[in-house]
Amino acid sequence: MVDSRFLAEELNDPDEESLPIQSELEEIDLEEHVSPVRRFIHHVSFSDRLSGMFMLVFAVAGLVLANLSGTSHFLTWLSQFQVGLHAPGLFMSVHDWCQNGLLSLFFLVVGLELKQELATGSLSDPRKAIVPMLGAAGGMVAPSLIYILILWISVKTGLVASHGFLPADLSRGWAVPTATDIAFSLAVFALFSNGLPREIRSFLLTLATVDDFLGILLIALLFTSFNQWYWFIGIAVTATMWYFIARMKKIPKVLAVIVCLAMWYFFEQSGVHSTLAGVLIGLLAPADLRYDENEPRAQRWHDALTPLSVLVALPLFAFFATAINVTDDSWTVLTSPIILGIVAALIIGKPLGVLLMTWFSVHLAHLKLADGLKVRDLIGMACTCGIGFTVSFLIAALAFNGVHNVEEARLAVLIGSVLSACIAGFVLHLQAKNPKYQNFVD
């Protein structure tokens, strides 16, 4: 970006009339200095459709390669291949590095987005954000209840043996279908919502952001095993250091990277899932303008890291997460309460919870949607919330202990997410053809 003071000196015209010329020169300067490759990467990274399709290619590739006789064994070997430093928490399989390492980058971007949204974005005004926030809460409660209901029915019908009210090893799966994948849900919405009001996308974006935050809380509260106390001192020290480093006028980049990596390592060793280090780093970033900067640092870092998250971290995680070997036995377990519960929770519970809570908020609590919107306008959007994927895959790996149960949960998330995407696409397409939305077409 061209420095305005330097530009004023060059033009010998420091008054406000130089501003249009300044903007014009800045645009020309950017066009000349940004390579076509960087422009393409930026375009793909910030396009809901293209980034979602890019992730989908990797997800499909993982599923296909895991079921081809010539590649399945190699993919299994690659997933389990150990790599890293010979130190506790730093020598893991490729799959674990994608889940604990690369996914931390995704959660860092989520944390930065949350911080900026809380400071200046859609979450900064509770009056405007309250309805999608409540919708996100409903979209987490309803799937959990449906999963528990199906598990209870399975116990009562004798499909699952249990000495108590519910089998302890399966009941933890209620958290799996509570998450919405923000990237895939926005991608499906973008593909099929041509002509729908922009306010619906804003509702989805706010809801999915809050959903991510609630998913982070679930991981922190439910899937944490506290180890030695001194690791938490390390977390506190590095978090404090990062807080002050992030607010320095000139940030020492090497020190910042070392402190952030140390914080990630302390999380890894403490028993708290290491991806939450990324969230904390993002939330501690400054979201206000400082030192005559043109953009808040949280927003600038979010935009800088988004290509790495969207084009590297998430696709690689999706590739290994969907590498599920679907054998003949896999189809026989489709009646498993894990699969039935998660699939039903995603395709029924998610949209039902979002719509019911939104309806209650508008009609009983007398809260307001955006001008011109009604609850029925959100049906297609609510269906996209059943696309669990990234965070659901992560919770599935944390919720269950046995490998067999984890594989069933991953298969259920995949089936439920695909069905939700298909249903959402169909409903959004029908909505977009409705004459009442024709005035919204650009």
pLDDT (0 to 100) of residue 172: 82
Q: How far is CA 309 from CA 141, 209, 230, 314, 315, in A?
A: 29, 16, 31, 6, 8
Single out the residue of 183, 235, 182, 246 nearest to residue 213, CA to CA.
Answer: 182
Is the pTM of the predicted complex or chain greater than 0.95?
no
Ordered domains of the chain (ranges, CATH):
47-224+273-440 (1.20.1530.10)
Single out the residue of 120, 306, 180 nearest to residue 129, CA to CA.
Answer: 120
pLDDT (0 to 100) of residue 372: 77
Intervals of the chain under pLDDT 70 = 1-34, 159-166, 327-333, 437-442
- The two structure tokens encoding residue 304: 């800088």
pLDDT (0 to 100) of residue 11: 37
pLDDT (0 to 100) of residue 329: 62
pLDDT (0 to 100) of residue 330: 59
pLDDT (0 to 100) of residue 441: 46
Distance of CA 88 to the CA centre of its chain: 28
CA–CA separation, 157 and 94 (whole Å) = 41
Q: Which residues contact 95 (CB under 8 A, 6 or more apart)?
A: 79, 80, 320
3-state secondary structure 82-108: EEECCCCCCEEEHHHHHHHHHHHHHHH
pLDDT (0 to 100) of residue 2: 39
Dihedrals φ, ψ of 104, to 5°?
-65, -35
